[in-house]
Structure 1
């Protein structure tokens, strides 16, 4: 999703730096010099997030934040030269989701923007979590914590067993030669026998009863699935 971020900041240098870093990450940016100008942006093409300075000409950032909160829960990151605890507390109490003190690292701002979008959008968060799972018939692999389940039961596997099963699951129904498997699982600097592949497959079959890990005679192995 191409998120739209509104930046409310009257310092041209900060405007340019923040815009450049965020645009590089694929965000659409609208810059406003004042809260009054930003409110017009809100009414015509509301952003998905605000990055808001506190010290602004006219309406200050606190009042703008409060005004936005009366209409929306859109994420707001407050940036300010005020580093007193009371200022941070006030910013959060008025509806800010995060508070960054000037001077700040643009990379840190980008990281906070991404984290806030992820936290405020459970649909995206769930989608990303689903991408970390691979389900092939009775086999479930959770990539983020390298856990493996067979028919709903977690199975303890070695690092090499996990790596081979992940390779097969990500390339279901594709046949791999023994030489390919040696390189992909053991590395191209491995000088042992390809019998290591056969032994590893044998151990996997023993742990995962009835897994469709087929022998391709005279070539290698593949993980079969009729669902693919």
Structure 2
């Protein structure tokens, strides 16, 4: 498969130059001139790497990186004309995988691109091989099939209910607040008066516990949140 790379920079000369470098290596290139345009592209296109300038009008690279990391693990190579350590640290902590300062050597740029793509390839292969099935007593949660069974009988959960259950089950012993669960499953800002998580949690418990003779799987930590025991 030909790797597709999104290049995001407000300077046309830089975009065109990076395109030449990448095309010469056999990559397919999509270009965006600002952060907002980049987000629009990512909503429509699947890319294997994002080359992202930090300083841009409308929406800077740091903000784009934060948005991307809410839903994607796509490798991000940050570009910047600045060389201060704090800028590098901010970019990496936001979720970037690597960082290169303008002006840069074309060879160094390509080496970093190939390293990120190679790392992502091996990571994805490892993820494919990993067993995504969790078993808790007679409860079995299969992420790859999006299937929940109790004693081999399927339990019908909505997509949100499944995601909540899998989140808790894959982090057994960890307490999640309603805000934690909402932000990770709905990927939206949580409001204090929002009882959506509580309603979903009640439905999950009803479906699970009635098929496990009343055995509690999800525990409430009063005043804190919810967890599944180790």
TM-score bucket of the superposed structures, by smaller chain: 0.5 to 0.7
Match of 2:2 in 1: 2
| Residue in structure 1 matched with residue 87 of structure 2 by the alignment | 87
Tell me whether 1:25 sits opposite 2:25 in the alignment. Answer: yes
Structure-2 separation of matches of 1:33 and 1:113: 20
- Residue number in structure 2 paired with 1:114: 114
Structure showing greater Rg = 1
Per the TM alignment, residue 107 of structure 1 is displaced from its structure 2 partner at its CA by 1.7
Distance, in Å, in 2 between the alignment partners of 1:106 and 1:9 is 16
> Which TM-score applies when normalising by structure 2?
0.53
Deviation digits for residues 70-117 of structure 1 (CA, Å, limit 9, x no counterpart)? 111100000001110010001000000000001101221111100111
Moved over 4 A (4+): 123-126
Asked whether the 8 Å contact 1:119–1:125 carries over to 2, the reply is no
3-state DSSP of counterpart to 2:71: coil
- Structure 1 gaps of 5+ residues are 127-228
CA distance in 2, matches of 1:60, 1:23: 25
Q: 1:46, CA displacement in angstroms?
A: 2.6
User: Across the two proteins, how many residue pairs are aligned to each other?
Assistant: 126
**Alignment gaps of 5+ in structure 2:** 127-230
Q: Secondary structure at the residue paired with 1:121?
A: helix
Residues 175-186 of structure 1 correspond to what in structure 2 (within 5 A)?
none
- 1:31 and 1:7 mapped to 2: Cα distance? 5
Q: Classify the secondary structure of the residue corresponding to 2:83.
A: coil
| Structure-1 separation of matches of 2:100 and 2:119 | 17
Once the two structures are superposed, the pairs formed by residues 75-154 of structure 1 within 5 Å of their partners are: 75-122=75-122
Shift in CA distance, 125/23, structure 1 to aligned 2, threshold 3 Å: farther
Q: How far did 1:124 drift?
A: 8.7
Helix, strand or coil for the counterpart of 2:113?
helix
1:77–1:99 CA contact under 8 A, matched in 2? yes
Q: Deviations over 1:108-133 (max 9, x none)?
A: 1111100111112117989xxxxxxx
TM normalised by structure 1 equals: 0.53
